[in-house]
Amino acid sequence: MERIWARPTLEVHGIIGGFTGEGAKTVIPAVGKAKISMRLPADLKSKEVFPLFERRVKELAPAGVEVTVRNFHGGEGVLVSPDSPAMRAAAEALKETFGKDPVFIREGGSIPVAALFYEVLNVPVVLMGFGLPDDNLHSPNEKYSLSQFFKGIRTVASFLQKLGSGSSLSS
């Protein structure tokens, strides 16, 4: 679980190179491309990490190979304390709707606006997921059940009510 929840990641999302059509070819490709992403901990900034990544990729390239590394997008991480008033309100709302205490996880995702809200607006960030493991999020045949959708609506309404009334602030 630590590897899934708490550690930084580097993923290769796609590799392109050489002949990809029907049949066989024995030529060495002139160009190869890879799409990479990283999930960074909240204390590392993407603008600091990218030059380090670019330098290391170029160091590892074989002699005579020209390497270009492009940064298409950068987003920052955010880590919110489960003891914050907003998270306590969220926990109460989730328990009210689902009948069980929520499990807090340090999940990685690509929601750059969350860190931006936290940093620039200085407002609490709460991310609650209502999907189920078999929903195949961002995959072919993705789905989302109506029962989870309606539970999500009830949870968010309860969360906003609890946060607005300050009931979680006094606990």
The pLDDT tens digits for 114-143 are: 888 888 998 888 989 899 989 998 888 899
Give me the pLDDT at residue 5, please: 74
Give me the pLDDT at residue 42, please: 82
Token pair in block for residue 84:
């914050």
Residue 20 or 82, more confident: 82
| pLDDT over 60 (residue 170) | no
How many H helices and E strands in the chain? 5, 2
Give me the pLDDT at residue 98, please: 96
Other CB atoms within 10 Å distance of the CB of residue 58: 13
pTM for the whole structure: 0.73
Token pair in block for residue 20:
């990809």
Task: Report the percent of the chain where pLDDT is more than 70.
Answer: 94
